[in-house]
Amino acid sequence: MSTPTSADVVVIGSGICGALAACRLAQQGLSVLILEAGPRIDRGRIVAAFRNSTRRGDWMSPYPFSPWAPQPEYKPRDNGYLVQAGPYPYPAEYIRVVGGTTWHWAAQAWRLVPNDVRIKSLYDVGVDWPITYDELDAWYQEAEEILGVAGADNTGSPRKHPFPMQPVAEPWSMRRFRERLAPAYAVVANTVARNSRSYDGRPACVGNNSCQPICPVNAQYLGINAVDSAEAAGAKVVPNAVVYRIEADAKGRIAAVHYYDPDKQSHRVTGKEFILAANGIESPKLLLLSATDKYPNGLANRSGMVGRNLMDHPSSSLTFYADEELWLGRGPQSPSSINTMRDGAFRAQHAAYRLDFTNISQVNAVTEDLIREGVYGPAFKQQLRWRAARQCNVKNVLEVLPHPENRITLSSEKDALGIPKPEAHYSIDEYTRRGADVSHNDFAKIAQLMGGTGLRYSLDGQFANNQHITGTLGMGNDPTKFVTDGFGRSHDHENLFCCGTGVMPTAATMNSTLTAVALALRTVEHMHPRQATTKESVARAAAETSA
Ligand SMILES: Cc1cc2nc3c(=O)[nH]c(=O)nc-3n(C[C@H](O)[C@H](O)[C@H](O)COP(=O)(O)OP(=O)(O)OC[C@H]3O[C@@H](n4cnc5c(N)ncnc54)[C@H](O)[C@@H]3O)c2cc1C
Ligand code: SF4
């Protein structure tokens, strides 16, 4: 069968956002073509690769690397794909395969809190969103129903309808945190796209603790589930199709995209509408790559903001030994958190944050520590058992503000196809650092309540990255300041829409994918409204009209 070269809608990227957008449009009878840079992969092979890996702590290790669709990798050494211009590293991880990066996500699927979209008005920091939380509510609900989100009532994010599912069973370690921290903190179940019961043909979580890098039983919703639904609805996927240029016509409409196959043969695909969903780094890269004489700064870049306001959620952390056996590693990896610092007047002074407890088995980490310390023989066995049973970790998940100088640009270095690599320019400001300092008081209190010994803070001033690539295609009403409008449509090209975490104008404190999916569903509804036959869609249409 020949590869299609035209469609009503061409989608660039088959991650969770692109695939769900494609699915929704294909369900409406439109012809939809998804161009995906990476290959198709098979869950069974990834599970086997993980089991056989000597680097199980490296969640990228089971995933194939394709020279034509490189992805950033850091172990055993940095492959240099995402060039770091500094001054602070931005070591983003993503997977370029059919289904995208959620193959190895932790499935935390939180809503924002209402004030997150008004921080400029309320606290005079960051920017306001062009939409309200109330407008997002119905799209969150729809996203949660598609993904199968399990959650508790006490998340701090208002909702009009219940979660599709009750929370996943609480692991023992998290129960003990909840009970022992109760005098000072409310430890709640994380809201997750992970089944607590059979849902939509996928089984309930069985608690085997390999959510990252791969859930063997399909209990977490992944981008590949969205791809399957899109294909079932009639969308066509072209794997190994590396888009390298988007072409605008004389009137400024997008006319076509160009992609390379792995042999560097070029192909041109036309369409009536285009959705850019290649993630918060590759999408702005593509717009910048598409510069012409008429658009010397790249497409969709009248504002000069393409690639700017790069954000994530930096984390520092505390590791310690509790005074009782917790045996992390039973149940999902990321089950519980403390969410009371997500909002408040303090946001005028310092970053909001939440506190997240890991439930990842500590056996690997402790083994590495003991080998490094030169412990052998019976002492090794005794220490391994003692430490792995008690070692635990809490991290902060910090808000960062949008700064134009934090950005993705095109590097002078090229990949194997001769395409410029993305280059990250990043720093962490005092606002976020002050938030980290405040959260360290919580760390100390938590350790004290858990009878903690052997306290080890992550290195002073050092932050880990949480892989929530936000802000590079920010939405806002002013075309001179924002890349996309409130519906994700490019201000400069009327048939170009952006889906993904990049359109979020601020990062708040919650993992960003659920919000990006909700926004993507709203974008495609704006492109092609469904028949308003259900009570829900009538209410949604009314809310959009009155907004
Ligand atoms: C270890 C880890 C854990 C995470 N845990 C969470 C979590 O618990 N909760 C949460 O909310 N988020 C989490 N994330 C982030 C989450 O994975 C992303 O937010 C999400 O995948 C973004 O979806 P997307 O569709 O925008 O992009 P992606 O999933 O990255 O998909 C983009 C797709 O576009 C394709 N593409 C790229 N360039 C091109 C091109 N030139 N031509 C054609 N196709 C292209 C890519 O190959 C990819 O398939 C985690 C990320 C990591 C790495
Ligand atoms: S704990 Fe196991 S079954 Fe549950 S989501 Fe994680 S990997 Fe899948």
* DSSP characters over 408-435: EEEEEEE-TTSPEEEEEEE---HHHHHH
Distance 211 CA to ligand 2 centre (A): 5
Contact 218 CB / ligand 2 (< 6 Å): no
SS (H, E, C) 61-127: CCCCCECCECCCCCCCCCCCCCEEEEECCCCCCCCCCCCHHHHHCCCECCCCCHHHHHHHHHHCCCC
Residue 26: predicted pLDDT:
98
Phi, psi of 472 (to 5 degrees): -80, -10
| Ligand that lies nearest to the alpha carbon of residue 221, given by its number in the listed order | 2
Q: Whose CA is nearest to atom 2 of ligand 2?
A: 208
Contact 103 CB / ligand 1 (< 6 Å): no
Q: Whose CA is nearest to atom 49 of ligand 1?
A: 100
Q: Whose CA is nearest to atom 46 of ligand 1?
A: 96
Contact 211 CB / ligand 2 (< 6 Å): yes
**Amino acid type, 102:** T
Residues 6+ apart with CB under 8 A from 376: none
Q: Which helix (H) or strand (E) holds 522?
A: helix 513-527
Contact 205 CB / ligand 2 (< 6 Å): yes
Q: What are the residue ranges of helices labelled H in 186-322?
A: 223-232, 282-289
Contact 285 CB / ligand 1 (< 6 Å): no
Nearest to 339 by CA among 417, 442, 255, 237: 442
* C-alpha span between 517 and 500 (Å, rounded): 7
Per the DSSP assignment, residues forming a β-bridge with 237 are: 34
> Which residue among 205, 328, 330, 361 is best mutated to probe the pocket of ligand 2, counting the most ligand atoms within 8 A of its Cβ?
205
> Which residue among 211, 218, 221 is best mutated to probe the pocket of ligand 2, counting the most ligand atoms within 8 A of its Cβ?
211
Distance 22 CA to ligand 2 centre (A): 27
Instruction: Spell out a b/e string for 147-163, using b for 16 or more CB atoms within 10 Å of the CB, else e.
Output: bbbbbeeebbbeeeeeb
Helix axes 377-390, 363-373, angle to 10 degrees: 140
| Diameter over CA atoms, the chain | 76
Residue 461: predicted pLDDT:
72
> Which residue among 46, 108, 172, 208 is best mutated to probe the pocket of ligand 2, counting the most ligand atoms within 8 A of its Cβ?
208
Contact 206 CB / ligand 2 (< 6 Å): yes
Residue 451: predicted pLDDT:
98
| Ligand that lies nearest to the alpha carbon of residue 468, given by its number in the listed order | 1
Tokens of 338: 């403390």
pLDDT along the chain (547 residues), means of 10: 91 98 98 98 96 89 96 95 97 98 97 98 98 98 98 91 96 98 97 98 94 96 98 98 98 98 98 98 98 98 98 97 97 95 98 97 95 97 98 98 98 98 98 97 98 91 92 98 98 98 98 98 97 53 49
Question: Residues 248-302: pLDDT tens digits?
Answer: 999 999 999 999 999 999 999 999 999 999 999 999 999 999 999 999 999 999 9
Contact 210 CB / ligand 2 (< 6 Å): yes
Residue 540: predicted pLDDT:
54
Contact 217 CB / ligand 2 (< 6 Å): yes
Q: Which atom of ligand 1 is nearest to the CA of 100?
A: 49
Q: Which helix (H) or strand (E) holds 439?
A: helix 430-449
> Which residue among 149, 215, 358, 361 is best mutated to probe the pocket of ligand 2, counting the most ligand atoms within 8 A of its Cβ?
215
Distances in whole angstroms, Cα of residue 295 to Cα of each of 37, 292, 300: 25, 5, 9
Contact 212 CB / ligand 1 (< 6 Å): yes
Q: Which atom of ligand 2 is nearest to the CA of 331?
A: 1
Distance 143 CA to ligand 2 centre (A): 20
Contact 209 CB / ligand 2 (< 6 Å): yes
Per the DSSP assignment, residues forming a β-bridge with 83 are: 423
Nearest to 290 by CA among 280, 300, 303, 302: 300
Phi, psi of 272 (to 5 degrees): -90, -35
Tokens of 111: 């809503």
Q: Which atom of ligand 1 is nearest to the CA of 334?
A: 8
Q: Whose CA is nearest to atom 13 of ligand 1?
A: 105
Contact 131, 547 (CB under 8 A): yes
Contact 106 CB / ligand 1 (< 6 Å): yes
Contacts for 84-90: CB closer than 8 Å, 24+ residues apart? 84/423, 84/424, 85/409, 85/423, 85/424, 85/425, 85/426, 86/425, 86/426, 86/427, 87/426, 87/427, 88/426, 88/427, 88/428, 88/463, 89/424, 89/426, 89/465, 90/310, 90/312, 90/424, 90/426, 90/465
* C-alpha span between 464 and 475 (Å, rounded): 26
* C-alpha span between 483 and 476 (Å, rounded): 7
Nearest to 315 by CA among 385, 398, 259, 233: 398
* C-alpha span between 211 and 74 (Å, rounded): 20
Q: Which atom of ligand 1 is nearest to the CA of 499?
A: 26
Distance 499 CA to ligand 1 centre (A): 11
Tokens of 109: 């699927």
Residue 194 DSSP class: B
Distance 523 CA to ligand 2 centre (A): 31
Q: How far is CA 282 from the centre of its chain?
A: 14
Q: Which atom of ligand 1 is nearest to the CA of 106?
A: 8
Contact 186 CB / ligand 2 (< 6 Å): no
* C-alpha span between 221 and 202 (Å, rounded): 9
DSSP line for 145-189: HHHT-B--S-SSS--SS--SBPPPPPPHHHHHHHHHHTTT--EEE
Question: Which residues are tagged catalytic?
Answer: 468
DSSP line for 217-248: T--B--HHHHHHHHHHTT-EEETT-EEEEEEE
Nearest to 540 by CA among 25, 138, 114: 138
Residue 547: predicted pLDDT:
44
Contact 94, 60 (CB under 8 A): no
Contact 432 CB / ligand 2 (< 6 Å): no
Question: Residues 49-74: pLDDT tens digits?
Answer: 999 998 888 999 999 999 999 999 99
Residue 213: predicted pLDDT:
95
Per the DSSP assignment, residues forming a β-bridge with 273 are: 9
Contact 174, 357 (CB under 8 A): yes
Q: Whose CA is nearest to atom 6 of ligand 2?
A: 211
Helix axes 172-181, 430-449, angle to 10 degrees: 90
Residues 6+ apart with CB under 8 A from 287: 246, 276, 298, 299, 300, 301, 306, 307, 473
Distance 280 CA to ligand 1 centre (A): 8
Contact 16 CB / ligand 1 (< 6 Å): yes
| Ligand that lies nearest to the alpha carbon of residue 360, given by its number in the listed order | 2
